[in-house]
Amino acid sequence: MGLKIGNLALCRGLFLAPMAGYTDRAMRVVSRVCGAEFSTTEMVSAKAVVYGDKKTQKLARIAPDEGFVALQIFGSEPEIMAEAAASLQSGYAEDGYVPPVAIDINMGCPVNKVFGNGEGSALMKNPALIHDIVRAVRRAISIPVTVKLRSGVDSSHINAVECALAAEEAGASLVCVHGRTRAQLYGGLADREIIKNVKSALHIPVIANGDIVSSESALAMLRDTGADGISIGRGAVGNPFIFREITAALEGKEYSAPTLEEKKHMALEELRLAVLDKGEAFAIPEARKKIALYFKGFRGSAALRGGINTAVTYAEVERLISSISDSNCEE
């Protein structure tokens, strides 16, 4: 296995999928430690970049310890998308941060606010516009352009192949396909057949996304689609070790599940990094949903989650997690 994105060479094709509110620097770093080879930032608005929004600038920053990171933008106007991409290619590389290795274009976000503005997965209604956006961004930057899309808007409009071909023709270096329609949101099952069809139609690498929660589902996705790699989203929340598990499976090696101490260490490391970046007041509430999942299924996990949900400082969460012992082993 192995693939190239522009001049970047990946050995196993293991991607951390972009997820708004989740894939911050902290999650990207711990995922890399566990074996993720490539990650993508939370999506940022192209218009907000062009208008100089300070919050967006923070979201767009990438630290040197993150490895290969693409910066994801969303929008619907080719000129604005191109201007934002050009700015982001090097705009936030100061003060110890580094530029992205690629610009990723969001064509898969299903939320009403984004879709209603004609952005995200709404772009799949218009393959010609997809072509224009990718071409404009490609011409504006010197790093690769990648695209994240879905199988279609709904079951009556499954057009991932057409949209992916438009992106490839316009200069995209890679396409990632989430095998659900916009109408499905995150429910139901991801359609592996449509991912297989996209892979068969394109000459550039195709990454498969959807329902990858273990090494078994990862290997099945690769087998059934022929994809060049896999992108993991919700399966990595509170479980960055999934990348280590899949790496072992790909290499035919025995996998050792993380010990309780490893889980405690990684949960606290993810929280520490989040606090370092954002401060306790913002990082602690935002990280609760991720940190509690590290211990899902443990005896007493409900009480632990309740404690984390009311904690307001790193020290409080650290005490709660440090108190977990082997007597809290999984039920």
The catalytic residues are: 109
- Residue with tokens 């011409």, as numbered in its chain: 139
Burial, 253: exposed, middle or buried (Cβ in 10 Å; 0-12, 13-18, 19+)?
exposed
Pairing of strands 229-232, 44-45: unpaired
Report in angstroms the alpha-carbon separations of 331 from 299, 300, 326, 327. 6, 9, 12, 10
50 with 86: CB under 8 angstroms? no
Pairing of strands 8-10, 3-5: antiparallel
Element (H, E) at 151: strand 145-152
Copy the structure tokens of residue 24: 């911050």
State how far the Cα of 166 lies from the Cα of 174, in Å rounded to an integer.
Answer: 12
88 with 103: CB under 8 angstroms? yes
286 with 22: CB under 8 angstroms? no
State how far the Cα of 136 lies from the Cα of 130, in Å rounded to an integer.
Answer: 10
Of 215, 220, 205, 321, give the one whose Cα is nearest residue 262.
Answer: 321
Q: What stretches of the chain show up as alpha helix (H) in DSSP?
A: 25-33, 46-50, 54-59, 78-90, 112-116, 127-140, 160-170, 192-201, 215-225, 242-250, 260-278, 280-291, 301-310, 314-322
